[in-house]
Structure 1
Amino acid sequence: MKMIEIEKKFMVLNDSFKAAAFTQNHIAQGYLSSVPERTVRVRIKGEKSYLTIKGLTNDTGMSRFEWEKEIPVNEAKKLLLLCEKGIIDKTRFEIKVGNHIFEVDEFHGENQGLIIAEIELDSETETFEKPNWLGAEVTNDKRYYNSYLSNHPYKNW
């Protein structure tokens, strides 16, 4: 398991990415802890569910410790009931672009109207192909972290 997650986040300009998606899953996720030093997330993605712990992000906003374990869906549903207010509801699309896969999240509910793309990299300096639907980079803007959105919904910005 890779323990350091390196990713970049971007705004998405339009929904043209949907035509290129090879998977699409509904995601419900909540936070048992949303403090920046250690976020503890419960996620149900399609037919699977996970418990994830993430550490503090580095100065670039790109890298942080991440530990994730698959858990039974029935347990995840019970854990979601214990989560902080603000369950994230979104659809994730996966799109292959060049040698990478972009995960594009279209948010629903309190965060309706927000569409964010993420790409995981092997290093902070790795180059990648940028599709034409990719907008401004928001990697180091904490407002676009799901843990922030759960407490400060996009509709209230």
Structure 2
Amino acid sequence: MAKEIERKFLVRDGSWREASETSISFVQFYIAISSERSVRLRISNGRSAKLTLKFGSDLAARDEFEYTVPIADAREMMQFAVGKVIRKTRHHVRHRGYLYEVDVFNDVFDGMVIAELETPDAVPDDMLPPWLGAEVTGDMRYSNASLALNGFPEPVR
């Protein structure tokens, strides 16, 4: 089990793209969601799948367990998805030694771009890249589980 500090931001502009190192296409869906736990399946590049269990109501620091599952099983379980299936491309972008995961959403969430920073330590605001917009850490509307259940959130002001 690994404890993580996760910060989430809307993305201000596309200047991050020049630093993108790699990208992964995801199809992800939830088979259980509650206020204190979630069970997610994620298919990566159509070739591998992981089951993720998250526990805790603090979106910035939760207990997380991940397991590899056969791709055929993951595809079959998609019929049990709770809410919307999320399709996105994740780009890995480094800034000042930290790895940011920039998610460009497709399909029903087309146009939304969110960056996540997961670290074992807190990163000071002055170390954050300039292409980050409003911080939405802890804003339930921007959690993937909430997106699956409730759809596209109203913009942060």
Pairwise same-fold verdict (TM > 0.5): yes
Count how many residue pairs are aligned between Structure 1 and Structure 2: 153
TM superposition outliers: structure 1 runs of 4+ over 6 Å: none
Deviations 1:85-111 (A, max 9, x none): 300011100101112100011111111
1:7-156 aligned at under 5 Å gives the runs 7-46=6-45, 47-58=47-58, 61-123=59-121, 125-127=122-124, 129-154=127-152
The alpha-carbon distance between structure 1 residues 79 and 117, as it changes in their structure 2 partners (threshold 3 A), is same
Q: CA deviation at 1:155?
A: 6.9
The CA distance in 2 between the partners of 1:63 and 1:155, in whole Å, is: 22
Q: Secondary structure at the match of 2:84?
A: coil
Deviations 1:46-105 (A, max 9, x none): 2321000011232xx410111111112111111112111300011100101112100011
The alpha-carbon distance between structure 1 residues 15 and 51, as it changes in their structure 2 partners (threshold 3 A), is same
Q: CA deviation at 1:126?
A: 3.8
Q: Secondary structure at the match of 2:83?
A: coil
CA RMSD of aligned residues (A): 1.7
* Structure 1 gaps, min length 5: none
TM-score (norm 1): 0.90
The amino acid of 2:119's aligned partner reads L
The amino acid of 2:41's aligned partner reads V
| 1:25 and 1:92 in contact (8 A); partners too | yes
The CA distance in 2 between the partners of 1:156 and 1:139, in whole Å, is: 15
The CA distance in 1 between the partners of 2:70 and 2:17, in whole Å, is: 29
Q: Secondary structure at the match of 2:31?
A: strand
Deviations 1:4-55 (A, max 9, x none): 2221000101122122111111100010012121100000012321000011
| 1:112 and 1:155 in contact (8 A); partners too | no
TM-score (norm 2): 0.90
The amino acid of 1:11's aligned partner reads L
The CA distance in 1 between the partners of 2:84 and 2:115, in whole Å, is: 21
The CA distance in 2 between the partners of 1:6 and 1:74, in whole Å, is: 32
The CA distance in 2 between the partners of 1:126 and 1:101, in whole Å, is: 11
| 2:37 and 2:57 in contact (8 A); partners too | no
Q: CA deviation at 1:156?
A: 7.3
Deviations 1:106-126 (A, max 9, x none): 111111111100001113x34
